[in-house]
């Protein structure tokens, strides 16, 4: 079952369905009643507003201190990484993220090939990698077949890519239940 | 005499299989066969042409992997049906991964915001056309 791990505009769910996705994590603070949709929240910097219940919480750190705090916070499910903050995740913090079982999300809309290459290295070291489109427009969405080939073209083995694109997002989706 | 020929034959087979001796002309380059990518266009309200699509796809491949891979993959939109909004890109076995990976980088075609979604890759044009017909 394919899971799109980040959609910024809920109207893109229909388009995403045409691409082959069956489950979606939508960035919103509103209640989602539709089946197959779950809410996610991305916290950033020092803003620690209370996240709604039954939502998957990501944190986008802007400094090393924030990253360490987020990795030790049990209420945060994953770390959001892109061009601006990928350098924060060094060896010791990567090991911490593995021991705390945090997901590492790569935002494709703002990630260069350098970030993708680093993410492949993290994946090989056992980190739970997911690739998110974080689309707010149609043209920012990524079809699964394109995504698999995009990562493979950066030097990853196909079997690992399959687990990052299929298995890890499903595991993330199942972290929280639908029940209020 | 027969035993000597037999033993020398066995020796040659053994040495060449272990790559101890490389016979001249052993290296072969596989034929770079055609691959066809069946795709669908999402978004884009107006009439798109295969020429405009091809230009966008080639620009995207060049942007992502450069001129060398553009020339190796040599993508061409050989068929596009505006009614079903689907089409076929011809490329080859060496370069089809580069084309597939570059398709999300096509953000617009002829000024219209679109998304190109690859559906299947196949080795025969006949199969690709039948995939479009069956939807």
Does residue A178 lie within any of the structural domains? no
Rounded to the nearest angstrom, the minimum Cα separation between B25 and chain A is 31
Residue window 119-148, chain A: list those with CB within 8 Å of chain B: 137-139, 141-143, 145-147
Residue B86 domain-assigned (yes or no): yes
pLDDT of res. B93? 94
Interchain proximity B115–A143, CB inside 8 Å: yes
Residue B15 lies in a domain: no
Residue B96 inside a domain? The answer is yes
CA–CA distance, A23 with A35 (Å, rounded to integer): 8
DSSP three-state, residue B108? strand
Q: Are B109 and B56 in contact (CB under 8 A)?
A: yes
Q: How confident is the model at residue A71 (pLDDT cuts 50, 70, 90)?
A: very high
The total number of structural domains in chain A stands at 1
- Res. A75: pLDDT tops 80: yes
> If pLDDT is split at 50, 70 and 90, which confidence band does B3 have?
confident
Higher-confidence residue of B34 and A180: namely B34
**Which tens digit of pLDDT belongs to each residue from A148-178?**
999 999 999 999 999 999 999 999 999 887 6
Confidence band of A1 (pLDDT split at 50, 70, 90): confident
- Average pLDDT, stretch B118-127? 94
Residue A96, exposed/middle/buried by CB under 10 A (0-12, 13-18, 19+)? Answer: middle
Backbone angles phi, psi at A6, to 5 degrees: -155, 115
pLDDT at A45 over 80: no
More confident residue, B32 or A126: A126
Domain-embedded: residue A179? no
Q: Do B104 and A150 touch (CB under 8 A)?
A: yes
Beta strands B76-81 and B86-92 are antiparallel
Does residue B123 lie within any of the structural domains?
yes
SS (H, E, C) chain A: CCEEEEECCHHHHHHHHHHCCCEEEEECCCCCCCCCEEEEEEEECCCCCCCCCCEEEEEECCCHHHHHHHHCCCCCCEEEECCCCHHHCCHHHHHHHHHCCCEEEEEHHHCCHHHHHHHHHHHHCCCEEEEECCECCHHHCCCHHHHHHHHHHCCCCHHHHHHHHHHHHHHHHCCCCCCC
**pLDDT surpassing 70 at residue A51:** no
Query: Of B65, B104, B114, which is closest to A146 when you measure between CB atoms?
Result: B104
What's the CA gap between A136 and A145, in Å, rounded? Answer: 20
Closest Cβ opposite residue A138 in set B43, B101, B118:
B43
Average pLDDT of the segment spanning A81-90: 93
**What backbone phi and psi angles, to 5 degrees, belong to A75?**
-80, -10
CA gap A18, B117 in Å, rounded = 9
Higher pLDDT, A68 or B10: A68
Domain that holds residue A138: 3-173
Smallest CA–CA distance from B106 into chain A, residue = A139
- With respect to residue A77, please indicate whether it lies within any of the assigned structural domains: yes
For residue A116, what is the domain's CATH number? 3.20.20.140
Question: Who contacts A28 (Cβ-Cβ below 8 Å, separation ≥6)?
Answer: A10, A39
Q: How far apart are CA A109 and CA A136, in angstroms?
A: 10
State the complex-level ipTM: 0.84
DSSP state of B84: T
Q: Structure tokens of B78?
A: 């050989």
List the domain range (segments joined by +) for residue B72.
34-134
- Residue A73: inside a domain, yes or no? yes
Q: Looking at the domain assignment, is residue B65 inside a domain?
A: yes
Question: Residue A50: pLDDT band by 50, 70, 90 thresholds?
Answer: low
Greater confidence (B20 vs B66) lies with: B66
- The set of residues, in sequence order, having a beta carbon less than 8 Å from that of A134 and lying 6+ positions away, is A6, A7, A8, A27, A107, A108, A109, A110, A140
- With respect to residue B69, please indicate whether it lies within any of the assigned structural domains: yes
Is residue A180 in some structural domain? no
> What CATH number is attached to the domain comprising B123?
3.30.70.3250
In a domain, B5, yes or no: no
Tokens of B118: 């690859």
Which among A2, A11, A5 has a CA at the least distance from the CA of A136?
A11
Q: Is the residue at A34 inside a domain?
A: yes
Instruction: Give domain status of residue B2, yes or no.
Output: no
Report how many domains make up chain B.
Answer: 1
Ramachandran region, residue B110 (left: φ > 0; alpha: ψ -120 to 50; beta: rest) = left
């Amino acid at each position: 079952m394919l899971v799109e791990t980040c959609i910024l505009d809920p109207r893109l769910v229909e388009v995403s369905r045409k691409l082959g996705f069956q489950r979606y994590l939508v960035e919103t603070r509103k209640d989602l009643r539709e089946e197959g949709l779950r809410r996610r929240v991305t916290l950033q910097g020092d803003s620690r507003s209370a996240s709604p219940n039954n939502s998957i919480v990501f944190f986008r750190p802007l400094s090393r201190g924030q990253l360490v705090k987020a990795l030790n916070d049990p209420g945060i499910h994953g770390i959001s990484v892109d061009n601006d903050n990928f350098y924060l995740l060094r060896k010791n913090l990567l090991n911490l993220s593995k021991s705390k079982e945090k997901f590492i999300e790569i935002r494709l809309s703002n990630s260069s090939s350098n970030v993708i290459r680093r993410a492949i290295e993290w994946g090989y070291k056992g980190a739970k990698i997911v690739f998110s489109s974080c689309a707010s427009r149609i043209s920012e969405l990524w079809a699964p077949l394109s995504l698999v080939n995009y990562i493979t073209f950066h030097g990853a083995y196909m079997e690992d890519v399959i687990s990052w694109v299929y298995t890890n997002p499903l595991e993330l989706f199942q972290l929280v239940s639908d029940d209020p | 005499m027969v035993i000597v020929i037999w033993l020398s034959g066995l020796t040659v087979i053994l040495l060449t299989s272990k790559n101890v001796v490389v016979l001249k002309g052993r290296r072969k380059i596989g034929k770079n066969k055609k691959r066809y990518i069946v795709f669908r266009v999402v978004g884009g309200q107006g009439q798109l042409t295969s020429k405009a699509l091809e230009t966008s796809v080639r620009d995207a491949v060049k942007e992502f992997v450069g001129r060398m891979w553009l020339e190796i993959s040599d993508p061409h939109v050989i068929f596009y049906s505006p009614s079903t909004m689907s089409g076929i890109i011809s490329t080859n076995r060496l370069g089809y991964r580069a084309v597939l990976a570059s398709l999300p980088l096509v953000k617009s075609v002829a000024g219209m915001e679109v998304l190109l979604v690859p559906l299947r890759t196949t080795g025969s044009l006949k199969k690709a056309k039948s995939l479009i017909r069956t939807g």
